[in-house]
């Protein structure tokens, strides 16, 4: 019999993650909000490991593994990859990193992702770092960065922004009710945004040079 999608030794994974007792920060922001740049700064200054759910799925899809083939086939058929598959990839990356502090970028994308993550991993995030940026500013950045590439025209950008807002709204509401959303005005220059980020993570967490 083939291995089920995302199958890992659940007991082993759960026990190992429980032993790790990791600090997890979810990082959310629309396309062009600059969260990738800020995640790189947080890694450098505060010693977190940056995990992108999208990058992990792409890497697995391209790996030639049985899981990767299944993921690739699902995407080709227009199916949504189940949340548990992404979560298992995140778990594996966390365990392999040797770290206990993680930025999980672009996840959870919706309420189903959020509920599944907490259910499967038994981990509750420390907080959600939300990069709030206007649609106009994100449009300007993406068009400038990509020099108007076909796949980043205004219509596509607006569609991506709308999907982001609709899918993450309930996630932000859920964590906001728990006082766990740290909203950053991401429409400012990179250095100004990072000063706000540093204020959230605090000097006690900063890496010594």
Domain enclosing residue 193, as ranges: 21-48+99-199
User: Which of 23-45 are b and which e, b meaning 16 or more Cβ less than 10 Å from the residue's Cβ?
Assistant: bbbbbbbbbbbbbeebbeebbeb
- Percent of the chain whose predicted confidence (pLDDT) is above 70: 85
pLDDT at 115: 94
Which domain CATH number covers 151? 3.40.50.300
Q: With 0-12 CB in 10 A as exposed, 13-18 as middle and 19+ as buried, what is 157?
A: buried
Decide if 8 is inside a domain: no
What CA–CA distance (Å, rounded) separates 50 from 38? 10
The residue-averaged pLDDT of 84-96 equals 92
Decide if 178 is inside a domain: yes
- pLDDT of residue 126 exceeding 70: yes
34 three-state secondary structure: coil
What CA–CA distance (Å, rounded) separates 50 from 40? 8
Decide if 122 is inside a domain: yes
| 147-200 pLDDT tens trace | 545 555 777 778 878 888 888 899 999 999 999 999 999 989 999 999 999 999
CB 186 within 8 A of CB 29: yes
In this predicted structure, which of 36-50, 137-151, 186-200 has the lowest mean pLDDT? 137-151
The residue-averaged pLDDT of 18-43 equals 89
Decide if 83 is inside a domain: no
Binding site for ATP: residue ranges? Answer: 32-37, 145, 188
Decide if 173 is inside a domain: yes
CA torsion through residues 169, 175, 178, 180, sign: negative
Residue closest to 186 by CA, chosen among 65, 35, 71: 35
Binding site for a ribonucleoside 5'-phosphate: residue ranges? Answer: 58, 79-81, 106-109, 149, 160
- pLDDT of residue 2 exceeding 60: no
Structure letter (DSSP) for residue 31: T
pLDDT at 6: 42
Decide if 164 is inside a domain: yes
189 three-state secondary structure: coil
Q: Considering its fold, how many domains does the chain have in total?
A: 1
Binding site: residue ranges? Answer: 32-37, 58, 79-81, 106-109, 113, 145, 149, 160, 188
Confidence band (pLDDT; 50, 70, 90) for 82? confident
20-23, long-range: CB within 8 Å, 24+ apart, which pairs? 20/94, 20/95, 20/100, 21/100, 22/94, 22/99, 22/100, 22/101, 22/102, 22/123, 23/100, 23/101, 23/102, 23/126
Decide if 117 is inside a domain: yes
Decide if 41 is inside a domain: yes
pLDDT at 13: 53
Binding site for CMP: residue ranges? Answer: 113
């Amino acid at each position: 019999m083939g291995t089920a999608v995302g199958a890992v030794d659940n007991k082993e994974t759960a026990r190992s993650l429980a032993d790790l007792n990791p600090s997890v920060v979810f990082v959310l922001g629309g396309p062009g909000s600059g969260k990738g740049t800020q995640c790189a700064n947080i890694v450098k200054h505060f010693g977190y490991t940056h995990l992108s759910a999208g990058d992990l799925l792409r890497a697995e899809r391209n790996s030639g593994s049985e899981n990767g083939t299944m993921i690739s086939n699902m995407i080709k058929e227009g199916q949504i990859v189940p949340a548990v598959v992404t979560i298992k990839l995140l778990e594996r990356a966390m365990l392999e990193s040797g770290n206990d502090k993680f930025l999980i970028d672009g996840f959870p994308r919706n309420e189903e992702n959020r509920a599944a993550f907490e259910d499967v991993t038994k981990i509750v995030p420390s907080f959600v770092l939300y990069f709030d940026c206007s649609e106009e500013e994100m449009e300007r950045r993406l068009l400038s960065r990509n020099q108007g590439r076909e796949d980043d025209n205004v219509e596509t950008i607006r569609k991506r922004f709308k999907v982001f807002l609709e899918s993450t709204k309930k996630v932000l509401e859920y964590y906001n009710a728990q006082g766990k959303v740290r909203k950053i005005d991401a429409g400012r220059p990179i250095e100004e945004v990072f000063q706000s980020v540093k204020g959230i993570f605090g000097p006690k967490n900063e890496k010594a040079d």
